Structure 1
Amino acid sequence: MTPNQIEYLLRSLRILETVGRRGSFSAAATELGMTQPAISQQIAQLESVLGLTLFRRLHRGVSPSDAGQILHTAAADVLARIHTAMKAVNASTQQKNLTVLTDYGFAANWLLPRLSDFENRYPELDLCLLTTQARQTGVANDPADVSILFGKDPDPVGCDSTLLFAEEVYPICSPRYLADMGPLAGVTDFARARLLDLDSPAQHWFTWEDWFRLAGQGTRPVIRTRNSRLFGNYPLLLQAILQGQGIGLGWRPLIDDYLQSGQIVLAWPQPIRSERGYFLSINPDKKDMAAAFRQWLQGQVRSSPFAARA
């Protein structure tokens, strides 16, 4: 068949199905965005080609003949099959969207440098990365398919959640800063250092007060005077550490790549561990599509030189 013949056949099938279903040339014309005379002419032309009467013209509307009813049923079946096939073809070729929600620190310092590997492995997935600084209360109510959020418990209850990284906090600084200051033999030696701290209580960040308390010091050995500097967010604090402005607190895995590259060093080797960590949560409605991302992410965690300690 030529393209024109295929087009004519499909148009005729669509008009035949619509007229038979609606029982009126006028109603079919309204549904198809055509005029009533155009519908009537198309049906008359089809009847002439087939040598059959497809519809009996009534005072109000039309009624299919026996032949018309048979062809209407066949037309409806063919159009339904074509519609199903087109949906299947479209789904197989359409780029699939995967939305990942996490906080800015994890996205910028750990996830983003690794995403090119995921995109190379799964080119059919179009990944959208969203960041938030607020602890979410329900992945199922969020637009995200996957959430990687920091907290004490999996979020939310009932979702498929996995601990990726337990929280480990280290005092960190640039190699030059540590060389200029000299090694720290004990916790009290931190009095010689400029301590870079976060001043964002709404985010419940681990602070120097927390670190000294858990390290056994009780209270910090220096007050916030010339030896302290406050920052409103962690990316700024991390930049200050990289520039050698003092000692700050670093979270694994956020600092893993900086440690591996030698841009920062541990000013104190013993970590402070807590019950918190980064949890991977999968939206139950998107479980199948998120499976590839989950498998890839867990592989990245296992291959990290600083693997998670649950």
Structure 2
Amino acid sequence: MFAKLPLTALRGFESAARLGSFKAAAQELNISAAAISHQIKNLETLLGVRLFERSSQSVRLSADGECLHTYVHRALLDIQQGLQVLSPSCVAQSLVVSTTPAFASLWLIPRLGGFYRLHPEISVRLHSSNEVVDLRRDASIDLAIRALFTPDPQLVEQPLMDEYFGVYCRPDWQPPATGAPVELIDVPWLSSSAVTVDWPAWCAKAGIGDWLESARLRRYDEEQHALQAAIVGHGLVLASQVLVAEAVARGQLIAYRPEIRLAGARYTLVCVPGRERQPAVRAFSEWLLAQGALGG
């Protein structure tokens, strides 16, 4: 039944399609770029279609190539999973999850112990970066958690929780005396809404624009640093309710004027089609979605 399947060429094609480069595919498979080119040319001849659009500087998938890559990638993932199930050395499963450093340290890591108690056989390795990883090119990443602004039709997406921004302070924080400057902790935030997430936007919505005339701004580049500054009493912080949830649960911070909110993004789980069926990915996704359903 499968005697005529060009498995070697399909593996070379999948690597080149995922990495967007014949040279990168050759390095991944430890063969020459000429061999990759030859395999793909033979595959194109066999199918009677052009799989890549070639130029002097790059290659990119054609419409037929995009279609074939979806099927081939899923099939190879299934084969890989089948081999892992039968391999004694793979009894302990591993999972690589990509997310931002702030989400990893402030939300995910404090909850990971609950996942390990349910699934001690799965080891989670975190890939933390503020850069969006191209999951179709980096096969080492199983799953990503993103604050998503626009859907990606080429990925499987599962909504985790919606984000909003509010102001938080220490439980013992007291408003400054009349005329005295208020201390505001400032950190850059991104939002999917038309409203910018910053102190002027929040103050305008709260009807206290005069705060900004004399405010002392404490500026930080990292969300973790801004929240830590608020916890130790350096002032009010405008923050994501997702990232501040752990500090609120511990009683380190409380919401100030909780009725004033600015819209944020939607945290979403994303993976390459086919990976959502892998047992470790499915187990982690189900656990994570249950955590999100608890309200962050």
* In 1, Cα distance between equivalents of 2:118 and 2:243: 23
The structure with the largest helix share of the pair is: 1
* In 1, Cα distance between equivalents of 2:247 and 2:115: 21
* In 2, Cα distance between equivalents of 1:243 and 1:211: 22
When normalised by structure 2's length, the TM-score is: 0.61
Is residue 124 of structure 2 the alignment partner of residue 131 of structure 1?
A: no
Is residue 179 of structure 2 the alignment partner of residue 153 of structure 1?
A: no
Q: CA deviation at 1:194?
A: 0.7
What residue ranges of structure 1 are gaps of 5+ in the alignment?
Answer: 1-85, 184-188
Is residue 208 of structure 2 the alignment partner of residue 212 of structure 1?
A: no
8 Å CA contact retained: 1:190, 1:221: no
Larger radius of gyration: 1
What residue ranges of structure 2 are gaps of 5+ in the alignment?
Answer: 1-82, 191-195
Question: Paired residue for 1:286?
Answer: 275
1:256-295 Cα shifts (integer Å, max 9, x gaps): 1221221101111114242522111122242222111111
8 Å CA contact retained: 2:97, 2:145: yes
8 Å CA contact retained: 2:168, 2:254: yes
Question: Percent same amino acid at aligned positions?
Answer: 23
Number of matched residues? 208
1:179-233 Cα shifts (integer Å, max 9, x gaps): x3279xxxxx9984211101589xxx832133234x165967415x761111121
Could you say if the C-alpha distance between residues 218 and 157 of structure 1 is closer, same or farther in structure 2, counting changes exceeding 3 Å?
farther
* In 1, Cα distance between equivalents of 2:84 and 2:157: 32
Q: CA deviation at 1:127?
A: 1.2
Which of the residues 185, 195, 198 maps onto 2:184?
195
Secondary structure of residue in 1 paired with 2:252: coil
Question: Paired residue for 1:277?
Answer: 266
The amino acid that maps onto 2:289 is Q
1:17-73 Cα shifts (integer Å, max 9, x gaps): xxxxxxxxxxxxxxxxxxxxxxxxxxxxxxxxxxxxxxxxxxxxxxxxxxxxxxxxx
8 Å CA contact retained: 1:97, 1:128: yes
Could you say if the C-alpha distance between residues 216 and 233 of structure 1 is closer, same or farther in structure 2, counting changes exceeding 3 Å?
same
Secondary structure of residue in 2 paired with 1:130: strand
Secondary structure of residue in 2 paired with 1:176: coil
The amino acid that maps onto 2:156 is D
Question: Paired residue for 1:300?
Answer: 291
* In 1, Cα distance between equivalents of 2:179 and 2:271: 42
Which of the residues 171, 186, 192 maps onto 2:167?
171
When normalised by structure 1's length, the TM-score is: 0.59
* In 2, Cα distance between equivalents of 1:226 and 1:167: 26
Could you say if the C-alpha distance between residues 159 and 200 of structure 1 is closer, same or farther in structure 2, counting changes exceeding 3 Å?
closer
Secondary structure of residue in 1 paired with 2:136: helix
The amino acid that maps onto 2:165 is V
* In 2, Cα distance between equivalents of 1:109 and 1:211: 23
Question: Paired residue for 2:136?
Answer: 140
Which of the residues 114, 117, 137 maps onto 2:114?
117
Secondary structure of residue in 2 paired with 1:139: coil
Which of the residues 231, 237, 240 maps onto 2:229?
240
The amino acid that maps onto 1:102 is T
Q: CA deviation at 1:139?
A: 2.4
Which of the residues 99, 103, 106 maps onto 1:106?
103
8 Å CA contact retained: 2:160, 2:268: yes
* In 2, Cα distance between equivalents of 1:259 and 1:148: 22
* In 2, Cα distance between equivalents of 1:109 and 1:242: 13
